[in-house]
Structure 1
């Protein structure tokens, strides 16, 4: 028989046992930066010679790799990597601030509340249909123009409606992020990854369209079904949301919309809404026809916030305060973007990024053709952690992978697809992806909780990618 003291002693450890919690994203990224700094002492420094590439871009000479003098990142150098990361990622950081401020101005005008009220009433009995429609539209746009960063614009636009219909912030973020990344990755007519990758590999631009179209349909279908499954669960029981506590304020703002008496827009709000739509038309025109990116879009959004706010009846002081509140709401996410960039800054300072790319590329050379194609995909998945730009990854890796494909019996078309699949889907998984972390900040979703939601879909996409590459190699796709 155990006495009371013994029982208490045995039960005490159980009381102290705590459930594992994912560290804060600041901690995760700081650890990544520190580990990167440590590796600069052990991985030999090396570099490729940079040469002019397609469309005036700089690429590498795949036969020029050579070792250089070791430049390990010391303690003093490490102290500056986070500030320099913020500077290097300044375009994304400030775009995050501007878009947060502009949409807060739109909220203050009341036109978002009016629009959400009308849409919530219209879709109240068929709300689930918004998921396939919006996801597909975002995917089609991304696969044609290659701007996955437009998810930063989509999220704040659809967020109030998604919340009003009984879903959560993750659902809104998933519709925008998964839709755009599927379109970008499949790259049916995407000049950023498909076009550039094929140019660097000596292939006709946009050749092999049929298989990429199949990849697009399969992956976007998988995304839609996955998001719908989660959304239905949240609709049935909101407490099962991964961001239930974080969405308290949003639910208070929007869940009553569409249920009480219909909201009528004032004459000034109607004119403000028309002008806002004109600005969005200008945005689309600029992105498609003029090659606008974050700097140009940020400038347009500043003017848009001021003009639309004034037309709606806001005073200049009210507009300024709305911008300030929007800045505060996305402050953490904007800082995370710079913190993520610090990892690449460390690798560049230590001159080991090229060494890592060269070593990973060489590992594929000893595999049989079908496995080599999969190996190329795995290599691209790893490389995207340190080179989060799709075009940047193409410029660094495809001059290596294209001739390597010839050596191991993999078609160059398959090598380009391996780059697309390995680069694309990881854009909304790795915390080193700047626009992705900015999008999560705008959505108000922590990276750790996004990973809990997204990881099963990422594995599904990875399985589709591997099967596709094996089939492509078996049929000699070219």
Structure 2
């Protein structure tokens, strides 16, 4: 009997899109009124299903709308997106998404995330250029000698650094750049591609799951809840450290098992094909790590440093990040004196290697567009918020975490989730005598836990780079999710009664 093959990432997303389109026929359409601040004339714009009106930008306006957020959160730019207005949900005329909308959704998604797609393609281009010079091969050869017998240090360093980026400035989409570089290093260390994927993706996920200064989750969620972002930060730091240690130990345990016996690898049946794709041809001669190759790798590393600095300090986003990698590729081409025709062909070939990843990102965004056009996200929020009525503190805060996990499938954007849900969910904490920072923590944990497997998030794009199936990732990650869920529930319960 022929074994049934698990569908590809693209097929999974199309199935999910069809399911979401079907949901728009079953779930009533509805929407909360929205409030946005207009800095040009210092006013509020309140939009509803029928019209949009201009209101005075004052604390009284916020109080009248039952929005318990200080005015300065809007005027300072801390809240820069339209927020939901509590107690304004109303059903709207149904907007079911049919066959036409389903077919157009992936195309709309690709257009909507064109900036991310361009970044991914240019990352593929610069990686191909660096690979052409032989710098990766020489660098990995040297690193293998330095880490011989201590390869586990690589796991600790990579996971910790990426988690640090996740918790401070929301390092997520940018991690796509790391896969083509780090996979060969982990393969050279006698690990499998799952280990490389885990260090990068789990590192980013655990960092954003317990964000400390991340402006795209903790800060915007706290502002939308009407509290200072430092409220509850002590507990988040403790959870970050505990969660990071658990994740590192989990990855090391699996990695050592694979290193000792390669047949224990979840992707052992793909071992040869993945190694052929990502590892370099072994040379019988020692590889000379010349000054020019060191300079090539230094420029490549500098691209990431400049990218991170720009995102944190200069308000850069995908367009500027793409420009950094493009300039880096050109500079490397000049240093290594690559022929112009060879440079262009190599760059395009590298971009083509990540084209499937770019399409996956677009398909995932298309699913979100179906939800938005079908107007079902606010309906789900409305009914989800009513589930917590009359609960005890411990039950309330844990239920809130699971509500956020479910909602994150429909609203994968952390900042979008915060501004849409926090004005509605955070006041519920007042009814059970809890500080609103507990709801912020439940939001972070709930969204973070589901991010490990969320098909409308980044995981499918990441798996496409590593050439690992979604089913195999689930087999690897589910035990860790169970452990982190139990730890999160314990943390939320204890903190609710302290």
* Both proteins in one fold, TM over 0.5: yes
For each residue in 1:323-373, what CA deviation from the matched residue of structure 2 results, as whole angstroms up to 9, or x when unmatched? Answer: 222223222222122222222111111111111111111112242221110
Task: Determine if contact 2:126/2:347 at 8 Å carries over to the other structure.
Answer: yes
d(CA) in 2 for partners of 1:235 and 1:255? Answer: 16
Answer yes or no: is 1:200 the counterpart of 2:191. Answer: no
Match of 2:496 among 467, 473, 478: 473
Q: How many residues align?
A: 458
* 2:189 corresponds to: 165
CA gap of 1:442–1:296, structure 2 versus 1, over 3 A, is: farther
Partner residue, 1:22: 6
Q: Secondary structure at the match of 1:365?
A: coil
- State which of 20, 25, 28 in structure 2 corresponds to 1:36: 20
Distance 1:308 1:137, change over 3 A: same
Secondary structure (helix, strand or coil) at the match of 1:392 reads helix
Partner of 2:52: none
Deviations 1:248-299 (A, max 9, x none): 3553477678995431134432332333333333222212211223222122
- The worse-fitting range, judged by mean Cα deviation, of 230-239 and 244-253 is 244-253
Which residue number in structure 2 is paired with residue 179 of structure 1?
203
Q: Is the 8 A contact 2:225 2:436 kept in 1?
A: yes
CA–CA distance in structure 2, aligned partners of residues 194 and 461 of structure 1: 19
2:466 — aligned with what? 443
Match of 1:458 in 2: 481
Between 181-190 and 319-328, report the one with greater CA deviation: 319-328
Counterpart of 1:97 in structure 2 is 121
Tell me, yes or no, if structure 1 residue 371 matches structure 2 residue 355: no
Report the equivalent of 2:320.
Answer: 296
State TM-score, norm by structure 2. Answer: 0.87
Decide whether the 8 Å contact of 2:22 with 2:97 is kept in 1: yes
User: Following the alignment from structure 1 to structure 2, what is the Cα–Cα distance between the partners of residues 430 and 256?
Assistant: 32
The structural deviation recorded for 1:31 is 1.9
Could you tell me the TM-score, scaled by structure 1's length?
0.90
* Whole-angstrom distance in 1 between the partners of 2:352 and 2:261: 31
Q: Which has the higher helix share?
A: 1
Q: Which runs of 5+ in 2 are unaligned?
A: 37-73
Secondary structure, aligned partner of 1:157: helix
1:40-439 to structure 2, matched below 5 A, reads 40-52=24-36, 54-249=78-273, 251-252=275-276, 260-433=284-457, 435-439=458-462
CA–CA distance in structure 2, aligned partners of residues 232 and 31 of structure 1:
36
* Structure 1 unmatched runs, 5+: 1-15
Q: Is the 8 A contact 2:400 2:442 kept in 1?
A: yes
Deviation string, structure 1 residues 122-171 (Cα, Å, up to 9, x no partner): 00111112111221122122212222233223323322211111011111
* Of 374-383 and 402-411, the range deviating more from structure 2: 402-411
Q: Is the 8 A contact 1:135 1:224 kept in 2?
A: yes
Identify which range, 343-352 or 223-232, moves more after superposition: 343-352
In 2, the alpha carbon distance for the partners of 1:263 and 1:425 equals 43
Distance change in 2, residues 1:238/1:226 (3 Å): same
Give the whole-Å Cα distance in 2 for the aligned partners of 1:451 and 1:97. Answer: 27
SS at match of 1:79: helix
Q: CA deviation at 1:459?
A: 1.6
CA distance in 2, matches of 1:99, 1:240: 32
CA gap 1:403/1:63 in 2 versus in 1, 3 angstroms: same
The structure-2 alpha-carbon separation of the partners of 1:445 and 1:325, relative to structure 1 and needing over 3 Å to count, comes to farther
SS at match of 1:302: helix
Tell me the equivalent position of 2:71. none
Could you report, residue by residue, the CA deviation over 1:350-398 in whole angstroms, capped at 9, with x for unpaired residues? Answer: 1111111111111122422211101100110011111111111111111
In 2: Cα distance, 1:249 partner to 1:260 partner: 22
> CA separation of 1:175/1:469 partners in 2, compared to 1, >3 Å: closer, same or farther?
same
Instruction: Confirm or deny: 8 A CA contact 2:127 2:350 kept in the other structure.
Output: yes
Measure, in 2, the Cα distance between the counterparts of 1:28 and 1:253. 24
Q: Give the deviation of 1:184 after TM superposition.
A: 1.3
Contact 1:334 1:441 in 2 (8 A): no
Q: 1:77 to 1:137 in 2, by over 3 A?
A: closer
